[in-house]
Amino acid sequence: MHTSSFTANRVSAKRYVTTGIVPRVILVLMCTLFALPFYWMIVTSLKGSTELTVFPPTLWPRDPVWRNYRDAVLFIPFLRFFMNSVILAAGATIGAVLSNSVIAYGFSRIPWKGRDILFYIAIATVFIPFPITLVALFDIFARLGWINTYLPLIVPAFFGNAFHMFLIRQFLMGISHDLSDAARIDGAGELMIFSRIILPLMKPALAVVAIFAAVNAWNDFLSPLIYLQTQELYPLSIGLQFFRAEHNIAFSLLMAASTLVVIPIIVLFIFFQRYFVEGITIGAIKG
Amino acid sequence: MGIIRGRNLRNGLLFVSPWIFGFIAFQVYPIFYSLRLSFTRYSGFGPPTPIGLDNFRRLFSDPLLWKAAYNTLYYTALAVPIGVVVAIVLALAMNQKVREVAVYRALLYVPSILPIFALSFVWVVFSNPRYGLLNHLSRLVGLPVIDWIGDPRWSKLSLVLLAQLGAGGPALIFLAGLRAIPTELFESAEIDGAGPIRRFFRITLPLITPVILYDIILGLSLGLQVFTQAYVIASTGPNTMVGPDNSLMFYVLYVYRNAFQFSQMGYASALVWVLFMVSLALALIVFRWAKSWVHYEIE
């Protein structure tokens, strides 16, 4: 794979420029473009109050003010919001893993009449704009007395999600039926086959679902905005709005807080990179 | 055989029953429930008062609603095509055969999983006409300085640009589509003397049309429900303008205000139903139109 001999030959040298250098230059430029807003986020988060108002803006903080991070965390009950976000993400993740594993099994490993039609209906719901149910769901949850609790944010996760179901089903379709057929001949029931044979095999797909569910819950804005009314319950998405309400808030604190919100997702990505890519790629609906 | 079939049906339904319940309770029922509410005046407390078609009549004489509908369609009409092109360009870049391509892929993908409520704050600071990097760079290369959020002519395009930070997600789907194209097709085209641009338009583009259709439909749904960016960036109070000249007043934001800030749940339900119908109609039009350009024959 190594191109150590390219200098010996002009043709391959030219080829190296077109296949090795040009794509790299383009890719680096693209990555730079995508990284610029985040570069600015970090740079701004480290500027002192006088440097913030310097014009033209400085491209690198002259004297990084790390205190901004402490101030940002103290400006709002950051830790509380952070923990609330973690609780919501954990609840949604548990719900997603439990429900979608069972549902996807029913949609892929048992042959029954109407299964595929029902599954296509489930997939079609992905394209329905979610806000359509917004008003009515709020009223339903209000009647249940669930407003200002985490129930409207977590309970629905226990009833499956079309995208997650789809991911696990795609995965299960690729697993041979030999083992489950043998177990069936030995008299094992469907629940037994599910829990003893298929569930352990499902782990990679479940990891993908868990990660997507956690990220989605962490990033969710509209639902917590509607359902939560007291500050003690706010996740970071809503808690961060306190910075907005304050008109004179320094950009530096806002950016410090944004950095702190973004970091957990990046850490998650670094640890579970493989699963993110797999999830998206399976998620590409075939033809 | 009949016994097995019956048992499979029972087991199958049992396994998918959580989804069936959730589908009915959280999707089907609310959609019909809001249809019922749309014919009533309802503050969220006490019983809804039936008022016939009043809410729907009111739609026609509500200038702010038309503004919101116009803004939303304007945003979607920009965001969908730009989103598709950016995602394809990213996918082509991600498909280059350089050794460290995984690093580039990761860097281009990561912004798409970051929370939009935080990205919106970043965008405010990044695009600030005086202290933002974007306009600083514009000044350096001699481009005009634009007040991306404060100028109603640019504010919607500005949110479309912000949305492109999320293009890495769809790009990975396009990438999967690109890698599914058999290499022999390119090789024989190259032998026939087709250059890279010709190869892209003759081979690559037709073969990824199913993914393009998927991305358009998804983008349409996401565009019509744009909310968080506008709320975080521009909605400062229940009665204030959203963005300069209400240029960022989007449909769902208007629904939100009516339902949860003005306690007009009946009117909001009517609004939501109109959105539902428009979304369905647009999706059907796209599917119809797609028949003339989506290629399905090669597996």
A38-75 confidence digits (pLDDT tens): 999 999 999 998 888 888 889 999 889 999 999 999 98
In this prediction, what percent of chain A has a pLDDT beyond 70? 91
Q: How far is A13 from chain B (nearest CA, A)?
A: 15
Whether A285 has a pLDDT exceeding 50, the answer reads no
Residues of chain A in contact with residue B217, where contact means CB-CB under 8 angstroms, are 127
Which of A15-24, A220-229, B11-20, B168-177 bottoms out in mean pLDDT, i.e. has the lowest? Answer: A15-24
Whether B3 has a pLDDT exceeding 70, the answer reads yes
What mean pLDDT comes out for the span A260-282? 84
Q: Do A44 and B125 touch (CB under 8 A)?
A: yes
Q: How many CB pairs under 8 A join A and B?
A: 284
pLDDT band per the 50, 70, 90 thresholds, residue B297: low
Residues of chain A in contact with residue B110, where contact means CB-CB under 8 angstroms, are 266, 269
* Calpha distance A163→A128 (Å, rounded): 13
What mean pLDDT comes out for the span B240-246? 87
Say if residue B59 is exposed, middle or buried (CB neighbours under 10 Å; 0-12, 13-18, 19+).
middle
CATH architecture of B62-290: Orthogonal Bundle (1.10)
Helix ranges (H only) for B24-153 are 29-37, 54-60, 63-94, 101-109, 116-126, 133-141
Q: What is the pLDDT of residue A283?
A: 54
Residues of chain B in contact with residue A190, where contact means CB-CB under 8 angstroms, are 11, 15
| Kind and range of the H or E run holding B50 | strand B49-50
Q: Do B116 and A251 touch (CB under 8 A)?
A: no
Instruction: Report the CATH number of the A76-239 domain.
Output: 1.10.3720.10
Residue predicted with more confidence, A178 or A237: A237
Residues of chain A in contact with residue B221, where contact means CB-CB under 8 angstroms, are 127-129
Diameter of chain B by CA atoms? 78
Q: Do B232 and A128 touch (CB under 8 A)?
A: no
| Strand partners for B41 | B49
Q: What is the pLDDT of residue B1?
A: 58
Instruction: Select from A170, A83, A77 the least CA-distant residue to A119.
Output: A170
Q: Do A136 and B34 touch (CB under 8 A)?
A: yes
B18, B37, B255 member nearest A103 (Cβ): B18
Q: What is the pLDDT of residue A175?
A: 87
- Residue spans of the domains in chain A: they are 6-67, 76-239
Residues of chain A in contact with residue B123, where contact means CB-CB under 8 angstroms, are 37
Is the distance from CB of A198 to CB of A77 less than 8 angstroms?
Answer: no
A36, A110, A241 member nearest B8 (Cβ): A110
Q: Do B108 and A156 touch (CB under 8 A)?
A: no
What mean pLDDT comes out for the span B244-262? 94
Task: Report chain A's mean pLDDT, rounded to a whole number.
Answer: 88
Q: Hey, what amino acid is at A108?
A: S
Whether A118 has a pLDDT exceeding 60, the answer reads yes
Whether B21 has a pLDDT exceeding 80, the answer reads yes
